[in-house]
Structure formats: structure tokens, C-alpha cells
Amino acid sequence: MRKLFAVAVAAVLLGSCNLIPERKLTACADPNNLPFSNKAGQGFENKLAEMIASDLHAKLDYVWWAQRRGYVRNTLNERKCDFWPGIASNVEMVATSRPYYRSTYMFVSRASENLKGLTLDDPRLKTLKIGVQMVGNDATNTPPAHALASRGIVGNVRGYMLYGNYSKPNPPAEIVRAVERGDVDVALVWGPLAGYFAAKSPVPLRLEPVIPWMADMQWPMQFDISVGVQSGNDKLLKEIDQILDRRSGDIRKLLAAYHVPVVESGG
């Protein structure tokens, strides 16, 4: 009789446990944007999202959305997802975690070319074919594009859209491929993109940080990157901050595996 009672109690307890809903976390990510993320989960932001979900004992889901204008509005701000694994720190539209890395724009050139030691004020830039990442109209272009324009370096500059041809894999990588092919002599490329695709290039490439890091006292070449959550979701933000602190060593290894150039503040 006791045995039957014990079995009955165990069954009730097991049933109660099954009533506890499984925690779910939804990350917003671009399905075609290595080294950051893709639908196959191969980007370092995918790996970070998996780390966060695992530490919180949650099932990870995704909302896939191309990172174009309106990305935050159509994802986090519409509450379609809980967090974005890679956003510039202190963006006003969302709440951001402590930074988990800081990177810089890089000069990317072929190693066979004598272009070592470039700076934004190097006279060689006036005659080289230069690639820069572009967003759209002048008001929203990348800092390197503005910095070059302020120096009168315009006619020899070729723009490569951040959005690119989305029918091809990882469209922002086209600017690095242009250096490989010799379409441009040097390109100014956001660090994670530069480091990842330079490491995969069949042509040896040289990478050097763009300096000065604060051009004309208004165009920063370095940015802190955080995890973004919906404004007001203080609980999740605190949980993520704790994970980023506790797993900082693992995150450094993750970034190194993807050849992300990591710099100190103002370095």
C-alpha cells in the first residue's frame, strides 16, 4: 500500500513539474550577415545568443530580419524578439548591456602592396583607389566616409553599400572582396567584417586600425558593442549583464576565433 501511495505521489509531482512552462528567449538576427549571424547559426552573435540562452536555461528562438533601416523598430520595439546580440552601446531606442567588445574600422590592403602605416591624413590616400562602406545619404553615412570627405578625398572613393545585394551570401563582405580582386587599393572596413573575411581571403591582406580613432573630433572609428533588449526589460538586461561578466573569458575566445579586432577605449 505504501509503495502504491509513493508511486501516486511521484506521478503527481512529475505532472506538476510538467506544468511549469519552459522559458523561451527570442533573439533578433540577420539571416545573411556573417561573421555576425546567419540562419545556419554560424556567426559569433549566434554563438553569444546560444550562450545567453543556455545560461538562462531557456529555449532559443529567432526572429530573422535583414539589418536595414527600421531593424529595431520592426523587431525589438514591436516585441517580436527579446534581445539583439550586437548593437552599439547606449543607443537610445533600446536598453543596452555592458559592452562585451570594442572594435575599430580597419584599413584593409593587399599585403603585397607598400601601404603599411596609413592614417586618415596620409597623402597617399589622395591618389589611391579607396573603398568605403556606405549607408545611403550623407547624413547617415559611415564615419570613414565622412572623414574622407572632410579631407577632400571624394573622386577616388568607391562606395560599397552595407546592405549590398541580399541575394548573395553575406553582402557586406563585397568591400573586402574588392580589395582581393584589386578593384580598390585599400578599403576602410568595420573591424569584425574586415578580420573575418581577411582571414578567409585567398590573397594575403594587411589589416591596420584606422587612425586617428576620433577624426575631426566628431567621427569615431571605434565603437563599444553591447546586447540590446527592449526598453524597460530590466530583469533580462540584468541577467545578460551578469552572463557577460561571468563568461567574459569565453567571449574573448569566441571573438578571437572569428578574428574580431578588439581594442581598448581610445586605443
Residue 61, beta-bridge partner list? 26
Over residues 173-186, the pLDDT tens digits come to 999 999 999 999 99
C-alpha cell at 31: 539571416
Domains 2-99+225-257 and 102-220 fall in the same CATH topology: yes
Average pLDDT of 217-246? 96
Q: Biggest alpha carbon distance in the chain?
A: 93
Q: Binning pLDDT at 50, 70 and 90, where does residue 222 land? A: very high
Cα 158 to Cα 83: distance, rounded to the nearest angstrom: 34
Over residues 122-168, the pLDDT tens digits come to 999 999 999 999 986 555 689 999 999 999 999 999 999 887 778 88
Cα 40 to Cα 60: distance, rounded to the nearest angstrom: 14
Question: Given this model, what pLDDT does residue 20 score?
Answer: 61
* Ranges of each domain in the chain: 2-99+225-257, 102-220
State how far the alpha carbon of 63 is from the alpha carbons of 79, 134, 247, in Å: 10, 26, 25
Residue type, 113: E
> 1 pLDDT exceeds 80?
no
> 236 pLDDT exceeds 50?
yes
Helix and strand numbers (H, E) in the chain are 8, 14
> 12 pLDDT exceeds 80?
no
Question: Given this model, what pLDDT does residue 162 score?
Answer: 82
pTM of the entire structure? 0.88
Compute the residue count for the chain: 267
Question: Given this model, what pLDDT does residue 207 score?
Answer: 98
Question: Given this model, what pLDDT does residue 9 score?
Answer: 43
Cα 32 to Cα 170: distance, rounded to the nearest angstrom: 5
Domain 2-99+225-257, CATH homologous superfamily name and number: Periplasmic binding protein-like II (3.40.190.10)
Quick check: 83 and 52 in contact, CB under 8 A?
yes
The burial of 138, by beta-carbon neighbours within 10 Å (0-12 exposed, 13-18 middle, 19 or more buried), is given as exposed
> 5 pLDDT exceeds 50?
no
Average pLDDT of 235-249? 98
Q: Which of 120-124, 185-189, 215-219 has the lowest mean pLDDT?
A: 215-219
**What CATH number belongs to 102-220?**
3.40.190.10
Question: Given this model, what pLDDT does residue 8 score?
Answer: 45
